[in-house]
Amino acid sequence: MKLAKTYKIEESTIEMIKEIADLDYAGNLTAAVEGLIQQSYLMRSIDESCRWAMYSAAKEHNGGFEEKSTRNYIDALFI
pLDDT (tens digit per residue) in 7-22:
999 999 999 999 999 9
Segments making up each domain of the chain, as ranges: 11-44, 47-79
Quickly list DSSP for 12-47. HHHHHHHHHHHHHSTT-HHHHHHHHHHHHHHHHTS-
When pLDDT is averaged across residues 33-48 and rounded to a whole number, the result is 94
pTM: 0.76
List Cβ neighbours of 21 (8 Å cut-off, separation of 6 or more): 27, 28, 29, 31, 32
Q: Which amino acid is at 45?
A: S
